[in-house]
Amino acid sequence: MGISDWIDPDQQLKRSSVVAVVLLSFVTLGFYYPIWFLRRRRGLNSLDSRRKLGILGPVILLALHAIYLVLPQHSTPEKIAGLAVLPTFLVLAFRVRFILADHLTSKTGAVLPVSLSFQTASNPSNLLTFFLTIWYLQYKINQLIDESRAWTHAGTVGEDPETAAATSITHAGNASSRTLAMESSELRPGRLALSEAVAVHALMLPWWVLIAAVFAMAPVARFLAGSTAQTPPVTALEIAVGFAIFGVVVGIWIWLLTRIVVWWRQGRRRLWLYPLMWALALAFTFLAMLALLLPSFRRSLTPRPVGES
């Protein structure tokens, strides 16, 4: 494996200041988020990963953000767009996270095939991706570019590229390996995966409650506000239906929580991703109900059994 196998794909990605990315996110009122994905899409797609970042996702995020900011407040399209922005943004962020993780695993595995602990430690963090999104991802991209430059320099001075890469990886991973070892002594990786999935699902609970309230609690709100000449009184049946829908939505959330535990016991992977997908499907309730008619969509909402690729 030559040095070009390590650095050429990465050079299409440009190093950017994380501080500048943070400032642009606030100055542009969030419009920079989809632009960030669009500007880095080609470079990310050149990395060693079977996953690719399509153009449709960032364009949808840009459109949703524009609708949310431009349309009158409290209008139905504005509410729907506002509810859909966050899960769409998170799906794109984790897509980039997967691409970076695949690339790092491929490259480090080629040099240090037995160093599974370092491969795990060097992959982008799920929790940091969830909370810091593109700010953290830009930091990981910068880190990848810096490592590529170090390998390039080692190759130009006559050192064997694989030896240089292995040395660079080993030194860079010492701190991460120590941290991973400390975490593993307190919490086994299997339980850590379960904790991540449960934490993400718990963070999505307010989203579930909000969706249920928007679609099911309107009669209750009318009842609490009282009837006027323009609005007829709310019937007991309407209130009962509203509470029933709300209870069903919360019940589904609880049932999915139990499924996470069952899937974890079965050894299924990447459980933390599926609460995000469920929240996105909930935001597009009616479209999701139609999509459930497709077997491939139903399979995508559950983790694959152990042994399936």
What is the C-alpha separation between 34 and 89, in angstroms, rounded?
Answer: 8
Type and span of the H or E element at 288: helix 285-291
d(CA 55, CA 53): 7
Q: What is the pLDDT of residue 233?
A: 66
The answer to whether 122 and 132 have CB atoms below 8 angstroms apart is no
Residue 44's pLDDT is 94
Structure letter (DSSP) for residue 210: H
Start-to-end CA distance of the chain, whole Å, equals: 26
C-beta separation of 178 from 203 below 8 A: no
Token reading at 197: 């999935």
- pLDDT at position 208 is 87
What is the C-alpha to C-alpha distance for residues 188 and 269, in angstroms, rounded to an integer?
Answer: 15
What confidence score (pLDDT) does residue 6 get?
A: 41
Global confidence as pTM: 0.53
Is the CB of residue 176 less than 8 Å from the CB of residue 118? yes
pLDDT of residue 181: 45
**pLDDT tens digits, the chain, 309 residues: what are they?**
433 344 344 447 888 988 889 899 989 989 999 999 999 999 999 998 999 999 999 999 999 888 888 887 777 777 888 888 888 999 999 999 999 999 988 876 655 554 555 555 568 888 778 888 998 899 899 988 887 776 555 554 555 555 555 555 455 555 444 444 444 434 344 788 888 889 889 988 888 888 777 766 666 666 666 555 556 666 777 777 777 888 888 889 999 999 999 988 888 877 887 888 788 777 776 667 767 777 777 777 787 776 554
Cα–Cα distance for residue pair 153/148, rounded to 1 Å: 9
Q: Give the whole-angstrom CA distance, residue 68 versus residue 73.
A: 8
The encoded tokens of residue 294 equal 């497709």
Query: CA–CA separation, 75 vs 160, rounded Å?
Result: 63
pLDDT of residue 226: 58
Question: Quick one: which of 191, 172, 173, 194 has its CA closest to 183?
Answer: 191
Q: Hey, where are the domains in the chain? A: 4-186, 194-300
The reported pLDDT for the residue numbered 191 is: 81
